[in-house]
Structure 1
């Protein structure tokens, strides 16, 4: 979505109702009209993180350092993350680690919360006191694989998603992977390491709950043909609290009549009615990937790189990061945002993104996105060159919020790891974000209410 840029900002050419993206931000209208952003980024003399004047960062955790629990070292590949209210005004961060079996710093295996001892991924939890000091850090689930994103539950647990379809015997794994796991950062043993098999086995990306009825929406990040599907899970025990998703339910995939490929839709504001939900024939993908299964007459609707997913107002929003005809998509785009209205059973193409400069090097929709408490969105950049956290206002203005200065290349050919897992404290006073490589978790404070 964002073109490669320097510290001054970024340019976006887009069409559609941009304000639509902020439907679930109650404060979105309060901070508009006073200029975008917080000013230019100030170079960090320590070459770690550039921020606007008045903001500061604290490093909470680094890959390779000892976990405070004594369970081992902080794992690598820090990815999706969420912040929950902790005891006595503190905060608990639950952080994904997108590790494979070949990772140098895997998530340490811990008895009672390890799924597959051969798996390298999982989650860790960081406990902060009310002053933002780290008072604990421990493994929250282990033995999973390629934990990319996920989403919070209405009862303050984290649903971590495996972005893989590896089965037992593949890449050293001893169990099937491609599941969602429920994780409690406060009490990991209360959730254990139990795959939520009824929610499907596929390359999961993100989830979002309908807070009114407990339906869970899921995206599938598939960038090779056949592309991913958009799912909904109808739980047997909706809104039942910790562990209730283990009771099972029905997994369905979205069918848009007459639209086999979402990339074919190019007109923003296009509305499709009478959306259908088709039961998934084999949610465990025993022999065939779900996206390649037979959904009967009419087929099923696919989309390349279905990633971000969040609930806003009375609708669920999901992102197709990009589509490319050379990969098998019907058309090329640089990012779509879709809105599904479950009451009206309509699907609307809200916005289509694209660069206004250098069309040969457009960059893609960031993986991680969050609503900012002061209005607008924060997005993690994942492209080449310099890496930023960008803010977006309701009017579509883009401004830089942070720049990763940790050079993982050479002085002659610098490289910088992507950002991931941007999230805010429950009180909105601190932004937390990960540098994927080198694995670093930051707390950023400053005049957010400005």
Structure 2
């Protein structure tokens, strides 16, 4: 999974009291839950030793939830985190360094504010949720004009097996209720409250960002996450406001996955990246949509010199190419942009551009740099031949070879770009 540190598992009741995993209400194949956990246990720490989070999307009955808990404990053994870390305080969560080699379960939990009672033959608790007159979070993605508090239409009670609930230690799932609820219950948001006018302005620009802004300031690091539906959104918008877990479908190639790989390219691809200080400080007031920021801007020039053994367009059997290199910046809205070289025709072996592209970035800590090699057809269409994405703060000075990856993130070696980087 390319170093993924948070994996969602869609669990359903199966035959003979064995839970199964599949994408619900689709024609995808069903796998036994115990088989999935066995595979995860085998490969969990091959890409990174840092903690892995299993986000359980649970549609199972209490009886099969107990089976899930049994498989988790028996298969994962000591790798499964079942108790809190003694050294960690009550205010902050333990660091990834403290949890090296551990697997965490992310799920709902029966707690003091939720009713719980034993039943026969197993112990089951009720998790009470407030249901809204919307279709989950998707409703809010359409809000562009105003922020309205959702009206509560009914109360839903979900039975949870205590055996599974007890495995949830630090990563408890919380359902979004309302902006007011988030404002009252999330300490980081209380210390950085927005005025009503600011909130409405932010909602008009992006309802997605405001929702995430009010509910996701929990930890101080970004863990690398994945999702399993068929679409992807750009994770950069959510990283800009400090969201610590942005779900993506690893099966869908594109810019979103390129950014995902680039963001976690740093520190040995361990799957966790420390947020900038202004997103870790509770008293900070960083706003990604501001025109100016209290950060030190970065001015740099990339001279695209040449390429070596570059790939061809998929349907081309000859060397008839029209190659363009595009350099893109993803970050805060004020920093985003792209510049490109001129075309070099009929030379994929060693094309020469020798063209300088200059950029100015106000918030370099959040910015990602993406190199794209495209082949432009005479009809004006373009095909992506290769790309490489990296954090801007990882960009070194001097002459550099930029390796190229295909749209699936696989190496195209020995294909590469030869560039020169300069900044003060």
- TM value normalised by structure 1: 0.26
The higher-RCO structure (CA 8 Å, 6+ apart) is 1
Structure with the largest fraction of strand: 1
Structure with the largest fraction of helix: 2
Larger radius of gyration: 2
- TM value normalised by structure 2: 0.27
